Amino acid sequence: MKKKYDQVYQFKITLKGTKPPIWRRILVPETYTFWDLHVAIQDAMGWDDYHLHEFTLLSPKTGRKVKIGIPSDEDADYGWEVLAEWNQKIAHYFSSENSKADYVYDFGDGWEHSIKLEKILPRETGVAYPRCIAGRGACPPEDCGGADGYQELLEAFNSSDPKQHQEAVMWLGEDFAPDEFEPNDVEFEDPDSRFKLAFE
């Protein structure tokens, strides 16, 4: 059963280290957990959700940074505390006074995203949420080496050297258009279904 809500949170998600910046603007229900937000970010950006991820932001209760994600035994071994994201609601953390967070996807490639709460808006009748209302730039391919690796791929893709260009095409595809993004093409999956797929 879907939870009732009256407000939606407008976030801008920006992929750090990309030039020009790749970004998305999304609206999500105020009832969302960080797991739900994670799924929305993955879908809006265009990631495949193959890798681990983690949020870092200030806790309004303590004023200290907290990590929110998928806890593991390794976290305890290193003395890290990672709060289970499915138990943490975005409404308990984000506000106009506490509007920023970092989100890392794929600890190997290290795709760093900045999250900015821009507005809290009334829910519109007849509108489906989450939704993507704006954005810029195509999502980089998975496992290409992070922002620096992606930049090198783009340079090779645009190279006049046939060998370099062909190697980049193997990653990106012949018709890859780095500047293209259409918000209406974003399809959001149900976070509960994604959770079952990931953990059951």
Q: How far is CA 176 from CA 7, 20, 166, 180, in A?
A: 37, 16, 12, 9
In this structure, the answer to whether residues 17 and 87 fall within a common structural domain is yes
In this structure, the answer to whether residues 83 and 168 fall within a common structural domain is no
In this structure, the answer to whether residues 37 and 115 fall within a common structural domain is yes
- Dig out the tokens for 106 from the structure: 């794929």
CB atoms < 10 A from the CB of 84, how many?
Answer: 13
pLDDT at 77: 65
* Domain coverage including residue 119: 7-137+186-199
**pTM exceeds 0.85 for this model:** yes
- Dig out the tokens for 61 from the structure: 């209760």
pLDDT digits (tens, 9 = 90+) for 123-172: 999 999 999 999 999 999 999 999 999 999 999 998 898 888 898 888 88
In this structure, the answer to whether residues 81 and 171 fall within a common structural domain is no
Name the residue type at position 82.
Answer: V
Q: How far is CA 75 from CA 38, 69, 70, 81, 198, in A?
A: 19, 11, 10, 6, 19
In this structure, the answer to whether residues 48 and 72 fall within a common structural domain is yes
